[in-house]
Amino acid sequence: GNLTFTMIKPDAVKANNHAKILQHLIDAGFRIVALRMWCMSRNDAKRFYAVHKDKEFFEPLVDFMSSGPIVAAVLEKENAVAELRKIVGATDPEEAAEGTIRKLYGTARRYNAIHASDSDENARTEWSIHFTEADIICHIACSFSNFISVFVGCMFTSMFFASRLSVMKKAG
């Protein structure tokens, strides 16, 4: 699919790296469809990481993710999930490839700066915790509306110059 979800974690926000990470995503060709900075409650974090509820790291992860602000984003790009996971890098920053977000901004396996959805289905599930469907649809509709406005504007400009050129040729 063309949409995915990412979340810049409290460690990266606290270190004031969230703008750099967003710029990294934009430079990699992603378009931000929806963006929200907020503090997740423990219940929000438990809901988000419910898939890990039986693992030993669940409670520390919930504590960490509710410890400060996060930046949630829905991103658009062709093959979005795979492309995002490629530039985010391995879970452990020490194992992440050079130039990846986790290599640049992560400090440990748990404090790895960013979350990236692992499938189209999980992306939709995860962004629904942070955004309404109306948020997503609104941004897509606004983008389409802007495209139509620019397209129509270009058409009128072309028609104006074509008519002016025609008048100039006749007057010629």
Residue 140 Ramachandran class (φ > 0 left, ψ -120 to 50 alpha, else beta): alpha
> How does DSSP classify residue 17?
-
Buried-state track 114-150, b at ≥16 Cβ within 10 A, e below 16: bbbbeeeeebbbbbeebbeeebbeebbeeeeeeeeee
Altogether, the residues listed in the chain come to a count of: 172
- Pairwise CA distance, residues 53 & 102, whole Å: 24
Q: Kindly report the backbone phi and psi dihedral angles of residue 78, in degrees, each rounded to the nearest multiple of 5, phi listed first.
A: -60, 135
- Pairwise CA distance, residues 39 & 48, whole Å: 13
Q: Kindly report the backbone phi and psi dihedral angles of residue 8, in degrees, each rounded to the nearest multiple of 5, phi listed first.
A: -85, 125
Is there a catalytic annotation at residue 24? no
Catalytic residue among 18, 24, 52, 115: 115
Q: Which residues are catalytic?
A: 115
